[in-house]
Homo-oligomer: A and B are copies of this chain.
Amino acid sequence: RRSHMAVSYTDPQVSMDLLRAVLQPSFNDDIMAVFQKYHQFFEKAAENVKENVGEDVQTDQLIKEACRNVLEHAKQLFPDGEVKRMGSDLMKRMRPADEDYG
């Protein structure tokens, strides 16, 4: 019978992604808080671009694209496979040692 095999709970990736999905809204809140710190810089840069390039520049879209690029580049903190650049040094800080979160 295959009636209840909607999700394979023994697939490691699937198991981890279930947890990821549960934590995502909380992550999103925290990540949004981080981006709020930097929003003014992107805002000013986008306004500058608009002044220099022209009124047809959509500052909102420029800022969103920059934010997506930040997230894409932040993936280098968690490199696939063996140690890549940036990885080794920053990975050490993943250990819950020197700072007192949670």
Contact = CB atoms under 8 A, between A and B. Distances in A.
Interface of A: 10, 12-13, 15-17, 19-20, 23-24, 26-28, 30-42, 45-46, 48-49, 52-53, 57, 61-75, 77-81, 86, 90, 93-94, 96, 99, 101-102
Given A16-B45, A17-B69, A66-B17, A36 B102 contact: yes
Nearest to A81: B61
A45 B69 contact: no
A75 B63 CA distance: 12
A35 B65 contact: no
4 tightest Cβ-Cβ pairs between the two chains A and B: A64-B78, A67-B78, A30-B34, A37-B102
Contact of A70 (B27, B42, B62, B70): B27
A34 to B, nearest CB: 4
